[in-house]
Chain A
């Protein structure tokens, strides 16, 4: 539904040129909910604005549906692309009521020539979708942030776009509201069968809402995949660091990978680690282990099981789980155990993890 090939965009700021997006390529399938995830300033908004037609790309091709909207000497302006967009700042029009905000695109937009009754119906239908129909007559400055966000959503949906673009729509809301709206937005978009392109810097949002995630860094897409893949098999240190929490142990390759398993010497002992890359003996690497992959005690059955000795320094009770800080040598590792585990602060324990559940990256 959205096809982006080799998209690049840079900005001139005074004398120097900032490259915001460089050579980005991806494709969003019809009906898919696709997320661009990355730290602030990595070029997510710029990518989205190029798709919306609010920026002119320096290079690359963008197609929405079957239609090339940018590239090959074509540039279709924003108001002629069949999209809806929700802005980070909401951008609801403060001089209008909730109803008129949603009605304006129908009255003066691309759709054109609708009868008054029809406009009325479509606006109310759209407001009902976001549960704002009871506040239709209110002026938007008198709404809360969450309510303004819903109006922005209704306004984007009322033109029945093929594609909905959302730029960090939840970042200005408080945590509780964010949890609610996450689900609601996803269900709404899925229910209407619209293709969604979502931009966020919040990995929880990205992992919980999306069909597929693209992780961006410094204007490039560094990894793309379903949320589970991105979380479990990060392809770079950056992705491992940025998506979810991870422990990092520096070391040196002792035995280069054979059958996908390498042996890495660390100050805390030799570890067997899963790897598909080619490393030479003596290469400096980082071993990445997710907190929930660490177990208490030694499991002798598996020869590829690694063990680390440590002391529990702190325990945080999380209800379903225990979050522990385990001191291993000079390093503090984060580990998550089931809440039934019999551990106390100060206990000497052994941590074990499978070679398959850790990964190594070049340092």
Chain B
């Protein structure tokens, strides 16, 4: 009896100890399975079934046969390819040109130009598309009206146009502009780090300046430029906002809007077919992501970036030095000034009107007032805050745990885990949302009460940002010398305690930066919240879209302005916190003498 009483707690304690030691592995496996594997597998499985997720029907290949034999898919694929392809050409052309000007010429005010080039990132994609509709729609578009006035001076009278945003060309134009900042950031580094000796060697062997550029400089930069182009193309492939606001009214379907249309705009939804579209979309994306990763790996071997940190040779612009600024002014007008000003204008009018002296007299803050005092506003703000905070917190915690397993353990499945993060990067946002919606309609997952709440949005956003966040935490954890953790183990501290008291404090700067990044992106995320929207879980971006859809341009614009200004403050504040946090962190990790 005695032994029995002593034995039982000891057995329990041992079992608990064993479980406790492997808790974080178990947690990682469960989380990743739950977040990524089950939704995707479920999507694939369902694309072969008839019926509704709540009551799946028999197995079938009919969905795929139907899709591949109708023109809809091919049409959407073609549109997506053309828009993403041409848009990427514009983005990369501008970005490479800007990067060269900023880093390799004697253009003044480089710091300011840097900020200016990435500034458009502050405007959410859906607002950017809406503002360009206000500028370039054939009848009421502000830019069109100005152009028509100009034309009438030459005796040409037009009733509408001359430009029309509701075309493939319009979508290409927007996609091209949107892509510039990211492409610039991806290219500018290798532009800066280029070893001047490589070019000097060419000129010393008798090549002319232009030959040097085409035979040495350009080929050396090509891997970086091509990598950036592919990245940009992948983002354009899955882009949704422009395709929704402009493409759908014009009957131009892209892959993302095709899925949205199938899932949310026709009733009853054919879930099997929608799932099949989703699977096809993922496969297309996977192909390009795989290609991109191959290029990344090759780029690392390329010796252009020496990291020796010298200033490359500067190309004198001579008398073009100031005129060339005109290009940046035009860029600023197209990407920031015109869109925000037209939104500001629209937000100050009860009923949208083209600017005129008469309209100027009617400006009012009534829209803002109506918004803030309306019953809908504060719940939506609350939802947005909850979604943003929960997403950033959960994403960073999951990313840290995944990185810890990938970087620190020798478990065999760690490579699979890392690979899975890339797969999740290849899943378009719209498909993530689709897969989650279908999963939480189904037994047994429907007993988890998240369908229709903000939490299903949080899950979707976590899946979407996890890939990026693990890149960040991977490199942070790698920076922490392994022996710092082992010293904790040999001091008797368990893995959980080690993570909490040693690893996390050491990588805190990266965690702060990462959560801020996720927070600002989650707070304006659009496609996932829209696809999963119900009346209870609306977030700001979705509300904005609903106003727009109802024709309430004023309310849309006012809400948009509030969003832009708030985000600008957070980003600006973050800009000042993040570098400082980074400095402190790296100093504390590297400050250790050896």
With A94-B591, A94-B592, A148-B593 as known contacts, state yes or no: A78 contacts B490, CB within 8 Å: yes
Within 8 A of B (CB), among A81-115: 81, 83-85, 87-96, 104-105, 108-111
User: CB of B483 within 8 A of chain A?
Assistant: yes
Our pick among A88, A104, A110, A172 for the contact of B501 (Cβ within 8 Å) is A104
- CB B237 to nearest CB in A, in angstroms, measures 35
Do the beta carbons of A84 and B490 come within 8 Å of each other? Answer: yes
Within 8 A of A (CB), among B487-501: 487-495, 497, 500-501
Do the beta carbons of B486 and A87 come within 8 Å of each other? Answer: yes
Do the beta carbons of A94 and B493 come within 8 Å of each other? Answer: no
Within 8 A of B (CB), among A64-80: 77-80
Our pick among A91, A111, A142 for the contact of B487 (Cβ within 8 Å) is A91
Our pick among B484, B491, B591, B594 for the contact of A109 (Cβ within 8 Å) is B491
Do the beta carbons of B592 and A108 come within 8 Å of each other? Answer: no
With A94-B506, A94-B592, A104-B501 as known contacts, state yes or no: A141 contacts B491, CB within 8 Å: no
Q: Mark B226-255, 1 if CB is under 8 A from A, else 0.
A: 000000000000000000000000000000
- CB B191 to nearest CB in A, in angstroms, measures 34
User: CB of B216 within 8 A of chain A?
Assistant: no
Within 8 A of A (CB), among B538-594: 587-589, 591-594
With A91-B484, A91-B487, A141-B588 as known contacts, state yes or no: A79 contacts B593, CB within 8 Å: no
- CB A20 to nearest CB in B, in angstroms, measures 14
Q: How far is the CA of A320 from the CA of B490 in the complex (A)?
A: 44
Q: Counting chain B CB atoms within 10 Å of each CB, which of A94, A105, A142 scores highest?
A: A94
User: CB of A220 within 8 A of chain B?
Assistant: no
- CB B577 to nearest CB in A, in angstroms, measures 18
With A54-B490, A78-B489 as known contacts, state yes or no: A93 contacts B502, CB within 8 Å: yes
Query: CB-nearest residue of chain B relative to A155?
Result: B491
Do the beta carbons of B490 and A85 come within 8 Å of each other? Answer: yes
- CB B101 to nearest CB in A, in angstroms, measures 41
Q: Mark A177-194, 1 if CB is under 8 A from B, else 0.
A: 000000000000000000
User: CB of A140 within 8 A of chain B?
Assistant: yes
Q: How far is the CA of A89 from the CA of B593 in the complex (A)?
A: 9
Do the beta carbons of A54 and B593 come within 8 Å of each other? Answer: no
Chain B residue numbers with a CB within 8 Å of A91 are 481, 483-484, 486-487
User: CB of B505 within 8 A of chain A?
Assistant: yes
Do the beta carbons of A104 and B592 come within 8 Å of each other? Answer: no
Q: How far is the CA of A77 from the CA of B488 in the complex (A)?
A: 12
User: CB of A251 within 8 A of chain B?
Assistant: no
Chain B residue numbers with a CB within 8 Å of A83 are 490
A-B CB pair tally, cutoff 8 Å: 101
Chain A residue numbers with a CB within 8 Å of B489 are 52-54, 77-79
Q: Mark A136-175, 1 if CB is under 8 A from B, else 0.
A: 0001111011001000100110010000010000001000
User: CB of B364 within 8 A of chain A?
Assistant: no
Chain A residue numbers with a CB within 8 Å of B486 are 52, 54, 78, 85, 87, 91
Our pick among A87, A109, A142, A148 for the contact of B492 (Cβ within 8 Å) is A109
- CB B87 to nearest CB in A, in angstroms, measures 42
Q: How far is the CA of A84 from the CA of B491 in the complex (A)?
A: 6
With A89-B594, A94-B588 as known contacts, state yes or no: A108 contacts B484, CB within 8 Å: no
User: CB of B75 within 8 A of chain A?
Assistant: no
Chain B residue numbers with a CB within 8 Å of A111 are 492
- CB A171 to nearest CB in B, in angstroms, measures 11
Do the beta carbons of B487 and A87 come within 8 Å of each other? Answer: yes
Q: How far is the CA of A139 from the CA of B505 in the complex (A)?
A: 14
With A87-B483, A140-B592 as known contacts, state yes or no: A108 contacts B490, CB within 8 Å: no
Q: Mark B465-492, 1 if CB is under 8 A from A, else 0.
A: 0000000000000000101101111111
Within 8 A of B (CB), among A23-43: none
Within 8 A of A (CB), among B419-459: none
With A77-B21, A144-B593 as known contacts, state yes or no: A104 contacts B493, CB within 8 Å: yes
Q: How far is the CA of A105 from the CA of B21 in the complex (A)?
A: 17
Chain A residue numbers with a CB within 8 Å of B490 are 52-54, 78-79, 81, 83-85, 156, 165
Give 26 pairs: A residue, B residue, CB < 8 Å, sorted on A: A53-B490, A54-B489, A79-B488, A79-B490, A79-B492, A84-B491, A85-B486, A87-B486, A91-B481, A91-B483, A92-B487, A94-B589, A94-B592, A96-B505, A105-B491, A105-B493, A108-B497, A108-B500, A108-B501, A140-B592, A141-B588, A141-B591, A148-B592, A148-B593, A159-B491, A165-B490
A-B residue pairs, 9 tightest by C-beta:
A110-B492, A109-B492, A105-B491, A141-B591, A78-B489, A85-B490, A91-B483, A91-B487, A108-B497
**Known pairs A79-B491, A108-B500 / 5 extra A-B pairs, C-beta < 8 Å:** A52-B489, A79-B493, A85-B486, A87-B486, A89-B483
Which residues of A pack against B, CB within 8 Å? 52-54, 77-81, 83-85, 87-96, 104-105, 108-111, 139-142, 144-145, 148, 152, 155-156, 159, 165, 172
